[in-house]
Amino acid sequence: MTITTTKVHNFSAGPGILPQEVLKEAAASCLNFDNLNLSLLEISHRSKNYEKVMDEARAIVKELFEVGDDYEVLYLGGGASLQFAMVPYNLMRENGSAAYVNTGVWASKAIKEAKIIGNTKVIASSEDKNFNYIPKGYDIPGDADYLHITSNNTIFGTQIKQFPKSPIPVVCDMSSDIFSRKVNAKDFALIYAGAQKNMGPAGSTMVMVKKDALGKTGRKMLSMLDYQVHIKGGSMYNTPPVFPIYVSLLTMKWLKKNGGIAWIEKLNQQKADLLYNEIDRNSLFYGTVEKADRSNMNLCFLLNKPELEPEFDKLWKDAGISGIRGHRDVGGYRASLYNALPLESVQVLVDVMKEFEKRLG
């Protein structure tokens, strides 16, 4: 059996796959946006045509998350990495503290930045087992200003399945699983996400913040790092990343049109079940994560015989599969099943794994 194809099955961990119809509409906007005979890349971000994009992009986040006017939505530059600093800068009181759960590389980076701002307590960590599980049953200090968690860990393939009940405001980095499943967004004081993994292209970061969480730090704020300044400016205090925001809007409209969060959650579960079942069944592979904490977005697995990697690599490349090499901190393979990845692509990978076992198992 030879598995070959001209279609590329994109399992990249990020920037991740986007819907084809979104890419086509975005490409057209680069030549003629909103029937202006001007490129989206050329027009003023202060024009009515682009202000309409920004307003709609902010509104649809609140619609998908089912929150009201007590929340504000921002689109900022700097990636989620800038939010590692902005969150404590805006939410941690000058003489206060924050609680963090360390579940991987990005959580560790967030902790590092928060420690520069103020008293940062790591109240739970899975570092002892190379982040292959999600800590549970930890105590949350009631006197901290907020709790910071990371919903999905792209590198290590873990995902929080049940969010903690917290006596203090909860901040969540949802960069790699935003809009992939139903969450009660009202349980969070702030949600942020770099767009490039599951929401849009690289270059924009979405922040949704509860208004009453702000203005309590007691510090004099730098304008560019102050959420309230960006809120007052309608997310356009400075020139926003116009194209990434537009493509993110198109992606969210695609999601809404097809059935919203309920639809994509069901599809994402089907994709994850299909691949995890093969990982567990196939005698040549094994998963790296405790089963209860397995991510539905980033599925990490290894070969029982690492010396067979060249043969497996040739097989999946011949099948038109791209982007499944694992991160250097884990090794092996990582298949990212973001919203726009079709079930068909997962089936192709599963077929390759079955064929590999047939030949060398």
| DSSP assignment letter at 196 | T
Both 86 and 161 in one domain: the answer is yes
- Please report, for the domain that includes residue 126, its CATH number: 3.40.640.10
Q: Is residue 8 part of a domain?
A: no
Scan for tokens 């790296």, then name that residue.
288
- Please report, for the domain that includes residue 290, its CATH number: 3.90.1150.10
Both 251 and 286 in one domain: the answer is no
Give me the pLDDT at residue 46, please. 93
Both 191 and 321 in one domain: the answer is no
Which residues form the domain of 203?
A: 22-257
Per-residue tens of pLDDT for the chain, all 361 residues: 454 556 899 999 999 999 999 999 999 999 999 999 999 999 999 999 999 999 999 999 999 999 999 999 999 999 999 999 999 999 999 999 999 999 999 999 999 999 999 999 999 999 999 999 999 999 999 999 999 999 999 999 999 999 999 999 999 999 999 999 999 999 999 999 999 999 999 999 999 999 999 999 999 999 999 999 999 999 999 999 999 999 999 999 999 999 999 999 999 999 999 999 999 999 999 999 999 999 999 999 999 999 999 999 999 999 999 999 999 889 999 999 999 999 999 999 999 999 999 999 7
Q: 46 — phi, psi (to 5°)?
A: -95, 0
Both 236 and 273 in one domain: the answer is no
Any residues with CB less than 8 A from the CB of 64 and at least 6 apart, and which? 179, 252, 255, 256, 260, 261
Q: 173 — phi, psi (to 5°)?
A: -85, 110
Q: How far apart are CA 8 and CA 132, in angstroms?
A: 30
Q: Is residue 2 part of a domain?
A: no
Residue 216 falls in the annotated catalytic set: no
Q: Is residue 53 part of a domain?
A: yes
Both 63 and 183 in one domain: the answer is yes
Q: Which of 145, 173, 177, 293 is catalytic?
A: 173
Both 117 and 168 in one domain: the answer is yes
Q: How far apart are CA 88 and CA 305, in angstroms?
A: 45
Both 123 and 189 in one domain: the answer is yes
Q: Is residue 155 part of a domain?
A: yes
Residue 263 falls in the annotated catalytic set: no
The structural domain count of the chain equals 2
Q: Which of 24, 48, 69, 106 is catalytic?
A: 106
Q: Which of 145, 177, 197, 226 is catalytic?
A: 197
Helices (H) and strands (E) in the chain, counts: 9, 14
Q: Is residue 4 part of a domain?
A: no
- Paired sense of beta strands 298-303 and 285-287, if any: antiparallel
Sheet strands (E) in the chain: 9-10, 71-76, 97-102, 119-125, 147-150, 152-153, 158-159, 170-173, 190-194, 205-210, 285-287, 298-303, 321-322, 333-336
Both 147 and 289 in one domain: the answer is no
Q: Is residue 13 part of a domain?
A: no
Q: Is residue 70 part of a domain?
A: yes
pTM over 0.85: yes
For the chain, the distance separating the N- and C-terminal CA atoms, rounded to the nearest angstrom, is 15
| DSSP assignment letter at 164 | P
Quick one: 275 exposed, middle or buried, by C-beta within 10 A (0-12, 13-18, 19+)? buried
Distance set, CA 352 to CA 71, 273, 278, 285 (Å) = 46, 16, 11, 12
| DSSP assignment letter at 110 | H
Residue 143 falls in the annotated catalytic set: no
Q: Is residue 9 part of a domain?
A: no
Task: Check if the beta carbon of residue 85 is closer than 8 Å to that of residue 117.
Answer: yes
